[in-house]
Amino acid sequence: MYRRILRQLLYAAALILAVLVLNFLLIQLAPGDPAEVIAGEMGGASAEVMAAIRQQYGLDKPLPTQLALYLGRALQGDLGMSYFYNRPVVDLILSRLGPTLLLVATALGFAMILGTRLGMLASRNPRGIASALVTVLSLVGYSAPVFWTGLMLVILFGATIPLFPIAGMIDVVKQGGPLVRALDIAHHLVLPALTLGLVYLAQYSRLTRASMLEVLGADYIRTARAKGVGERQVFGRHAFRNALLPVVTVAGMQFGAIISGAVLVETVFSWPGLGTLAFQSILARDYPTVLGILFFSTLIVIIANLLTDFVSRLLDPRLAGGR
Protein backbone atom coordinates (compact mmCIF):
# COMPACT_ATOMS: atom_id res chain seq x y z
CA MET A 1 0.00 0.00 0.00
CA TYR A 2 2.72 2.54 1.02
CA ARG A 3 4.91 1.48 -1.88
CA ARG A 4 1.99 2.14 -4.15
CA ILE A 5 1.50 5.66 -2.77
CA LEU A 6 5.24 6.31 -2.95
CA ARG A 7 5.31 5.17 -6.55
CA GLN A 8 2.38 7.42 -7.41
CA LEU A 9 4.11 10.39 -5.78
CA LEU A 10 7.29 9.68 -7.72
CA TYR A 11 5.33 9.58 -10.96
CA ALA A 12 3.71 12.86 -9.98
CA ALA A 13 7.09 14.51 -9.33
CA ALA A 14 8.48 13.32 -12.67
CA LEU A 15 5.34 14.54 -14.38
CA ILE A 16 5.64 17.97 -12.82
CA LEU A 17 9.28 18.27 -13.89
CA ALA A 18 8.37 17.24 -17.43
CA VAL A 19 5.51 19.73 -17.47
CA LEU A 20 7.81 22.52 -16.33
CA VAL A 21 10.48 21.83 -18.96
CA LEU A 22 8.00 21.24 -21.79
CA ASN A 23 5.98 24.34 -21.01
CA PHE A 24 9.11 26.43 -20.72
CA LEU A 25 10.22 25.33 -24.17
CA LEU A 26 6.75 25.56 -25.72
CA ILE A 27 6.17 29.13 -24.64
CA GLN A 28 9.44 30.21 -26.23
CA LEU A 29 7.99 29.18 -29.58
CA ALA A 30 5.42 31.95 -29.44
CA PRO A 31 6.70 34.94 -31.39
CA GLY A 32 7.42 38.18 -29.58
CA ASP A 33 8.70 38.63 -26.07
CA PRO A 34 7.63 40.42 -22.88
CA ALA A 35 9.72 43.48 -23.64
CA GLU A 36 7.65 44.09 -26.78
CA VAL A 37 4.41 43.73 -24.85
CA ILE A 38 5.59 46.08 -22.13
CA ALA A 39 6.74 48.58 -24.75
CA GLY A 40 3.33 48.23 -26.41
CA GLU A 41 1.63 48.93 -23.10
CA MET A 42 3.83 52.00 -22.71
CA GLY A 43 2.89 53.41 -26.11
CA GLY A 44 6.41 52.85 -27.38
CA ALA A 45 9.82 52.75 -25.77
CA SER A 46 13.41 53.50 -26.69
CA ALA A 47 16.03 50.84 -27.44
CA GLU A 48 17.65 51.48 -24.07
CA VAL A 49 14.39 50.86 -22.21
CA MET A 50 13.79 47.65 -24.17
CA ALA A 51 17.31 46.44 -23.41
CA ALA A 52 16.84 47.33 -19.75
CA ILE A 53 13.61 45.34 -19.59
CA ARG A 54 15.24 42.31 -21.22
CA GLN A 55 18.18 42.54 -18.86
CA GLN A 56 15.97 42.99 -15.82
CA TYR A 57 14.20 39.71 -16.52
CA GLY A 58 17.23 37.80 -17.76
CA LEU A 59 15.79 37.53 -21.27
CA ASP A 60 19.18 38.45 -22.74
CA LYS A 61 20.71 35.19 -21.47
CA PRO A 62 20.85 32.04 -23.66
CA LEU A 63 17.82 29.77 -23.45
CA PRO A 64 19.47 26.82 -21.62
CA THR A 65 20.75 29.22 -18.96
CA GLN A 66 17.27 30.68 -18.56
CA LEU A 67 15.79 27.19 -18.23
CA ALA A 68 18.40 26.11 -15.69
CA LEU A 69 17.89 29.26 -13.64
CA TYR A 70 14.13 28.85 -13.75
CA LEU A 71 14.16 25.17 -12.76
CA GLY A 72 16.64 25.86 -9.98
CA ARG A 73 14.40 28.51 -8.49
CA ALA A 74 11.18 26.57 -9.09
CA LEU A 75 12.56 23.55 -7.22
CA GLN A 76 13.13 25.83 -4.25
CA GLY A 77 9.50 26.90 -4.48
CA ASP A 78 10.28 30.28 -6.06
CA LEU A 79 8.25 30.73 -9.21
CA GLY A 80 9.76 34.15 -9.91
CA MET A 81 8.34 37.59 -10.49
CA SER A 82 5.63 38.34 -13.02
CA TYR A 83 7.15 40.33 -15.88
CA PHE A 84 3.92 42.14 -16.47
CA TYR A 85 2.48 42.79 -13.04
CA ASN A 86 5.79 43.20 -11.26
CA ARG A 87 4.80 41.08 -8.27
CA PRO A 88 5.65 37.53 -7.15
CA VAL A 89 3.96 34.89 -9.31
CA VAL A 90 3.03 32.83 -6.26
CA ASP A 91 1.11 35.79 -4.79
CA LEU A 92 -0.68 36.40 -8.07
CA ILE A 93 -1.65 32.74 -8.41
CA LEU A 94 -2.73 32.28 -4.81
CA SER A 95 -4.99 35.33 -5.08
CA ARG A 96 -6.60 33.77 -8.17
CA LEU A 97 -6.68 30.14 -7.06
CA GLY A 98 -9.57 30.62 -4.64
CA PRO A 99 -12.01 32.07 -7.18
CA THR A 100 -11.17 29.34 -9.70
CA LEU A 101 -11.61 26.53 -7.20
CA LEU A 102 -14.87 28.08 -6.02
CA LEU A 103 -16.15 28.30 -9.58
CA VAL A 104 -15.01 24.83 -10.61
CA ALA A 105 -16.23 23.17 -7.42
CA THR A 106 -19.63 24.86 -7.62
CA ALA A 107 -20.03 24.02 -11.29
CA LEU A 108 -18.89 20.44 -10.82
CA GLY A 109 -20.99 19.93 -7.69
CA PHE A 110 -24.08 21.32 -9.33
CA ALA A 111 -23.50 19.28 -12.48
CA MET A 112 -22.83 16.13 -10.46
CA ILE A 113 -25.86 16.36 -8.18
CA LEU A 114 -28.38 17.51 -10.74
CA GLY A 115 -26.89 15.45 -13.59
CA THR A 116 -27.00 12.14 -11.76
CA ARG A 117 -30.56 12.88 -10.54
CA LEU A 118 -31.70 13.66 -14.06
CA GLY A 119 -29.98 10.54 -15.39
CA MET A 120 -31.69 8.44 -12.76
CA LEU A 121 -35.03 10.01 -13.57
CA ALA A 122 -34.55 9.27 -17.23
CA SER A 123 -33.56 5.67 -16.62
CA ARG A 124 -36.76 4.96 -14.69
CA ASN A 125 -38.73 4.91 -17.90
CA PRO A 126 -36.26 4.90 -20.80
CA ARG A 127 -38.97 5.45 -23.41
CA GLY A 128 -40.94 8.05 -21.46
CA ILE A 129 -41.21 11.78 -21.98
CA ALA A 130 -38.90 12.60 -19.07
CA SER A 131 -36.18 10.48 -20.61
CA ALA A 132 -36.62 12.08 -24.01
CA LEU A 133 -36.44 15.53 -22.40
CA VAL A 134 -33.25 14.70 -20.54
CA THR A 135 -31.71 13.30 -23.71
CA VAL A 136 -32.53 16.41 -25.72
CA LEU A 137 -31.38 18.68 -22.92
CA SER A 138 -28.09 16.87 -22.56
CA LEU A 139 -27.50 16.82 -26.31
CA VAL A 140 -28.02 20.57 -26.50
CA GLY A 141 -26.01 21.20 -23.37
CA TYR A 142 -23.19 19.03 -24.56
CA SER A 143 -22.96 20.38 -28.07
CA ALA A 144 -23.32 24.10 -27.29
CA PRO A 145 -19.88 25.64 -26.81
CA VAL A 146 -19.23 27.05 -23.36
CA PHE A 147 -18.53 30.58 -24.57
CA TRP A 148 -21.76 30.64 -26.56
CA THR A 149 -23.88 29.51 -23.61
CA GLY A 150 -22.06 32.10 -21.53
CA LEU A 151 -22.72 34.93 -23.94
CA MET A 152 -26.38 33.95 -24.30
CA LEU A 153 -26.78 33.92 -20.52
CA VAL A 154 -25.06 37.30 -20.34
CA ILE A 155 -27.49 38.77 -22.86
CA LEU A 156 -30.50 37.17 -21.18
CA PHE A 157 -29.70 37.85 -17.52
CA GLY A 158 -27.44 40.84 -17.90
CA ALA A 159 -29.30 42.93 -20.44
CA THR A 160 -32.83 41.64 -21.10
CA ILE A 161 -33.76 40.60 -17.55
CA PRO A 162 -31.00 42.06 -15.39
CA LEU A 163 -31.18 39.56 -12.55
CA PHE A 164 -27.54 38.68 -12.13
CA PRO A 165 -24.30 40.61 -12.43
CA ILE A 166 -22.41 39.65 -15.56
CA ALA A 167 -18.84 40.50 -14.74
CA GLY A 168 -16.45 40.09 -11.86
CA MET A 169 -16.77 38.36 -8.54
CA ILE A 170 -17.61 41.18 -6.16
CA ASP A 171 -19.28 44.54 -6.35
CA VAL A 172 -16.52 46.83 -5.10
CA VAL A 173 -18.93 49.66 -4.55
CA LYS A 174 -21.10 47.63 -2.17
CA GLN A 175 -19.95 47.75 1.43
CA GLY A 176 -20.94 45.51 4.30
CA GLY A 177 -20.01 42.64 6.59
CA PRO A 178 -18.86 39.13 5.67
CA LEU A 179 -22.44 37.94 5.09
CA VAL A 180 -23.14 40.72 2.60
CA ARG A 181 -19.88 39.86 0.85
CA ALA A 182 -20.66 36.15 0.75
CA LEU A 183 -24.10 36.80 -0.69
CA ASP A 184 -22.58 39.19 -3.19
CA ILE A 185 -20.07 36.56 -4.33
CA ALA A 186 -22.83 33.93 -4.54
CA HIS A 187 -24.86 36.35 -6.65
CA HIS A 188 -21.94 36.85 -9.01
CA LEU A 189 -21.25 33.13 -9.08
CA VAL A 190 -24.61 32.08 -10.51
CA LEU A 191 -24.07 32.74 -14.20
CA PRO A 192 -20.48 31.53 -14.59
CA ALA A 193 -21.13 28.39 -12.53
CA LEU A 194 -24.27 27.68 -14.51
CA THR A 195 -22.43 28.15 -17.81
CA LEU A 196 -19.54 25.93 -16.84
CA GLY A 197 -21.79 23.38 -15.15
CA LEU A 198 -24.26 22.94 -18.01
CA VAL A 199 -21.82 21.04 -20.23
CA TYR A 200 -20.96 18.63 -17.47
CA LEU A 201 -24.55 18.37 -16.34
CA ALA A 202 -25.34 17.10 -19.81
CA GLN A 203 -22.53 14.59 -19.75
CA TYR A 204 -23.30 13.25 -16.29
CA SER A 205 -27.00 12.86 -16.96
CA ARG A 206 -26.31 10.89 -20.14
CA LEU A 207 -23.66 8.82 -18.45
CA THR A 208 -25.86 8.10 -15.43
CA ARG A 209 -28.78 7.19 -17.65
CA ALA A 210 -26.74 4.73 -19.71
CA SER A 211 -25.01 3.33 -16.70
CA MET A 212 -28.29 2.92 -14.80
CA LEU A 213 -29.91 1.14 -17.71
CA GLU A 214 -27.01 -1.25 -17.84
CA VAL A 215 -27.00 -1.89 -14.11
CA LEU A 216 -30.79 -2.30 -13.98
CA GLY A 217 -30.47 -5.20 -16.37
CA ALA A 218 -27.95 -6.95 -14.13
CA ASP A 219 -28.69 -10.22 -12.35
CA TYR A 220 -28.42 -8.86 -8.83
CA ILE A 221 -31.12 -6.32 -9.50
CA ARG A 222 -33.43 -9.08 -10.62
CA THR A 223 -32.46 -10.95 -7.45
CA ALA A 224 -33.20 -7.92 -5.32
CA ARG A 225 -36.57 -7.46 -6.94
CA ALA A 226 -37.31 -11.18 -6.67
CA LYS A 227 -36.67 -11.16 -2.96
CA GLY A 228 -39.16 -8.32 -2.61
CA VAL A 229 -36.99 -5.22 -2.11
CA GLY A 230 -39.00 -2.07 -2.77
CA GLU A 231 -38.50 -0.25 -6.07
CA ARG A 232 -37.12 2.84 -4.28
CA GLN A 233 -34.51 0.74 -2.54
CA VAL A 234 -33.60 -1.04 -5.74
CA PHE A 235 -33.12 2.25 -7.57
CA GLY A 236 -31.47 4.30 -4.89
CA ARG A 237 -29.27 1.71 -3.20
CA HIS A 238 -28.62 -1.22 -5.44
CA ALA A 239 -28.57 0.37 -8.84
CA PHE A 240 -27.60 4.02 -8.32
CA ARG A 241 -24.57 3.36 -6.17
CA ASN A 242 -23.15 1.00 -8.76
CA ALA A 243 -24.10 3.24 -11.63
CA LEU A 244 -22.23 6.10 -9.99
CA LEU A 245 -18.81 4.47 -10.39
CA PRO A 246 -18.20 5.37 -14.03
CA VAL A 247 -19.55 8.87 -13.36
CA VAL A 248 -17.05 9.45 -10.57
CA THR A 249 -14.21 8.12 -12.71
CA VAL A 250 -15.16 10.39 -15.58
CA ALA A 251 -15.64 13.38 -13.27
CA GLY A 252 -12.17 12.87 -11.84
CA MET A 253 -10.61 12.57 -15.24
CA GLN A 254 -12.47 15.64 -16.36
CA PHE A 255 -11.08 17.81 -13.62
CA GLY A 256 -8.27 18.89 -15.91
CA ALA A 257 -10.72 19.57 -18.71
CA ILE A 258 -13.02 21.56 -16.47
CA ILE A 259 -10.14 23.80 -15.46
CA SER A 260 -9.42 24.52 -19.10
CA GLY A 261 -13.15 25.08 -19.60
CA ALA A 262 -12.92 27.57 -16.76
CA VAL A 263 -10.48 29.63 -18.82
CA LEU A 264 -13.25 30.35 -21.33
CA VAL A 265 -15.97 30.92 -18.78
CA GLU A 266 -13.77 33.15 -16.65
CA THR A 267 -12.87 35.17 -19.72
CA VAL A 268 -16.51 35.65 -20.69
CA PHE A 269 -17.55 36.65 -17.16
CA SER A 270 -14.34 38.48 -16.14
CA TRP A 271 -14.17 36.05 -13.24
CA PRO A 272 -10.92 36.88 -11.46
CA GLY A 273 -9.55 33.35 -11.50
CA LEU A 274 -6.57 31.48 -12.87
CA GLY A 275 -8.21 31.30 -16.27
CA THR A 276 -8.35 35.04 -16.90
CA LEU A 277 -4.87 35.34 -15.46
CA ALA A 278 -3.61 32.61 -17.81
CA PHE A 279 -5.28 34.26 -20.79
CA GLN A 280 -3.86 37.70 -20.01
CA SER A 281 -0.45 36.30 -19.21
CA ILE A 282 -0.18 34.43 -22.49
CA LEU A 283 -1.11 37.58 -24.41
CA ALA A 284 1.44 39.49 -22.36
CA ARG A 285 4.12 36.80 -22.86
CA ASP A 286 4.45 36.80 -19.10
CA TYR A 287 6.41 33.54 -19.03
CA PRO A 288 6.81 33.12 -15.26
CA THR A 289 3.11 33.59 -14.62
CA VAL A 290 2.04 31.22 -17.41
CA LEU A 291 4.51 28.58 -16.20
CA GLY A 292 3.35 29.10 -12.63
CA ILE A 293 -0.29 28.63 -13.59
CA LEU A 294 0.48 25.49 -15.58
CA PHE A 295 2.46 24.20 -12.63
CA PHE A 296 -0.44 24.81 -10.28
CA SER A 297 -3.00 23.26 -12.62
CA THR A 298 -0.78 20.19 -12.95
CA LEU A 299 -0.75 19.96 -9.19
CA ILE A 300 -4.52 20.31 -9.02
CA VAL A 301 -5.08 17.62 -11.63
CA ILE A 302 -2.72 15.23 -9.87
CA ILE A 303 -4.45 15.83 -6.55
CA ALA A 304 -7.86 15.40 -8.20
CA ASN A 305 -6.75 12.05 -9.64
CA LEU A 306 -5.55 10.83 -6.27
CA LEU A 307 -8.89 11.90 -4.77
CA THR A 308 -10.84 10.12 -7.51
CA ASP A 309 -8.93 6.96 -6.70
CA PHE A 310 -9.87 7.38 -3.09
CA VAL A 311 -13.57 8.02 -3.74
CA SER A 312 -13.80 5.05 -6.11
CA ARG A 313 -12.46 2.86 -3.34
CA LEU A 314 -15.11 4.19 -0.98
CA LEU A 315 -17.86 3.46 -3.47
CA ASP A 316 -16.56 0.07 -4.49
CA PRO A 317 -14.94 -1.85 -1.64
CA ARG A 318 -13.63 -4.43 -4.13
CA LEU A 319 -11.04 -1.90 -5.38
CA ALA A 320 -9.69 -1.25 -1.88
CA GLY A 321 -9.54 -4.88 -0.87
CA GLY A 322 -7.40 -5.88 -3.82
CA ARG A 323 -3.98 -5.43 -2.28
Partner 1 sequence: MTPIPAFSRRFLLAGAVALTALGTAPSLSAQEAQTGGTLVVASVQKPRHLNAAVQSGIATGVPAAQIFATLLRYGEDFEPQPYLAESWEFSDDSKVLTLTLRSGATFHDGQPITAEDVVWSLGVVKENHPFSSMLEPVEAFEAPDPQTVVIRMKQPHPAILLVLSSALTPILPKHVFDDGQDIKSNPKNNLPVGSGPFKVTAFEPGQHIILERHDGFFLEGRPYLDRIVIRQYQDANSGVLALESGEAQLFPLLDSTRLIRRLEKSGAMTVTDQGYAGIGPVNWLAFNTKSPALSDVRVRQAVAHAIDRDFVTKALHSGLSKPAVEPVVQGSPFYTEEVERYDFDLDKAKALLAEAGFGEGGETLKLRIDYIPDNEEQQRAIAEYVKAALAKAGVEVTVRASPDFPTWAQRVASYDFDMTMDQVFNWGDPVIGVNRTYLCSNIREGIIWSNTQQYCNEDVDKLLNEAGVEPDLARRKELYAQAFKQITTDIPIHFINEVPYHTVWSQAVQNPPVSIWGAMGPMDEVWLKQ
Count CA atoms within 13 Å of residue 199 on its CB side: 23
The residues that touch partner 1, with contacts defined as CB under 8 A, are 30-33, 36-50, 52, 56, 81, 84-87, 92, 95, 154, 158-159, 162, 165-169, 171-173, 267-268, 270, 272, 276-277, 280, 282-285
State the minimum distance, in angstroms, from the CB of residue 86 to partner 1: 5
Residue 37 or 221 with smaller CB distance to partner 1: 37
State the minimum distance, in angstroms, from the CB of residue 165 to partner 1: 7
Residue 264 or 301 with smaller CB distance to partner 1: 264
How does DSSP assign 27-82, residue by residue? HHHSSS-HHHHHHHHTT---HHHHHHHHHHTTTTS-HHHHHHHHHHHHHTT---B-
Of 289, 251, 263, 244, nearest to 86 by C-alpha is 289
State the minimum distance, in angstroms, from the CB of residue 301 to partner 1: 24
Residue 130 or 170 with smaller CB distance to partner 1: 170
Residue 21 or 155 with smaller CB distance to partner 1: 155
Residue 201 or 286 with smaller CB distance to partner 1: 286
Residue 132 or 283 with smaller CB distance to partner 1: 283
State the minimum distance, in angstroms, from the CB of residue 133 to partner 1: 32
State the minimum distance, in angstroms, from the CB of residue 299 to partner 1: 22
Question: How far, in Å, CA of 323 to CA of 312, rounded?
Answer: 15
Kindly report the three-state secondary structure assignment for every residue of 183-230.
HHHHHHHHHHHHHHHHHHHHHHHHHHHHHHHHHHCCHHHHHHHHCCCC
- Burial group, residue 293, by CB count within 10 angstroms (0-12, 13-18, 19+): buried
| Cβ contacts of 58-67, under 8 Å, gap ≥ 24 | 59/33, 59/34, 59/35, 63/28, 67/21, 67/24, 67/25
**Buried/exposed code over 33-47 (b: 16+ C-beta within 10 A; e: otherwise):** bbbebbeeeeeebee
Of 267, 259, 323, nearest to 297 by C-alpha is 259
State the minimum distance, in angstroms, from the CB of residue 277 to partner 1: 7
Residue 33 or 316 with smaller CB distance to partner 1: 33
State the minimum distance, in angstroms, from the CB of residue 33 to partner 1: 7
